[in-house]
Amino acid sequence: MSTSAADYLKSVLSLYARRGVDEWRDAPREIRKAAYRYVTVGIADKQAEIGPALLDRGKSYLVPMPKVKGIDWCFFKPRSLYGPSLMCSFDVLLLCGEKTLGLRFEPPEEVSSTHGYTHVQFSRKLAHRTLPIRSVPDWLPTSYPAVPIRATNSLELFLSLGIAMHGFPDGMVGILRDIFGNKTREAQHYIKILRRLVSD
């Protein structure tokens, strides 16, 4: 990943996480209580906890995402660069009442692997396998389905996650415009990538 792509990723991740933490502070009390009861690795609910969580250093905090329609709350966690592509992956936790679902947005594994492509799949454990997902039924496989994603770097993988969780064009485009405020040129850079990810 080039330096500019890494800078773009760092910028959008930081702003997206700040928006998520700000919204999380206003989440209904019953949702917050359920999340704190379930997310035993900790939730980054202070701005100072965002940096270490995004850099995948220290405690495995999950970061609140901006509100997702139809789900009580969602959290995400970047995981360190790995694989031949040196892309980072992203864990996502969906919380709906007492039910949870875990997803992993992952770069390609070894070329000779059956997962040698960028993909999203279910997960039974998140945050470096320290957070078990209770509601995933035993019968549900987690290696497959592994749904292909059209991402070639970590920035595109994160934006694919954003499209999957918030929708397109409504949803993720609005979030980008909001978090970048009057920096419309910067927001347009990311919106162009979103359009490329969903076009033929």
Number of domains in the chain: 1
189 inside domain? no
Q: What is the pTM of this model?
A: 0.89
Q: Which residue range forms the structural domain that includes residue 84?
A: 3-151
- Between CA 31 and CA 84 the distance in angstroms is 39
132 inside domain? yes
> At 90, is the secondary structure helix, strand, or coil?
strand
Which pLDDT does position 59 carry in this prediction?
63
Which pLDDT does position 3 carry in this prediction?
46
If you ran DSSP here, which 8-state letter would residue 140 be given? S
Q: Which pLDDT tens digits describe the chain residue by residue (200 residues)?
A: 444 677 888 899 999 999 999 999 999 999 999 898 888 778 888 888 888 788 766 567 889 999 999 999 999 988 876 544 557 889 999 898 888 888 889 888 776 777 778 888 888 777 666 676 776 677 777 777 888 899 888 999 999 999 999 999 889 999 999 999 988 899 999 999 999 999 86
160 inside domain? no
Whole-angstrom CA distances from 95 to 31, 58, 72 are 9, 24, 6
**Omega within 30 of 0 (cis) for the link into 132:** no
122 inside domain? yes
> At 155, is the secondary structure helix, strand, or coil?
helix
- Between CA 187 and CA 72 the distance in angstroms is 27
Residue reference for tokens 């850079």: 189
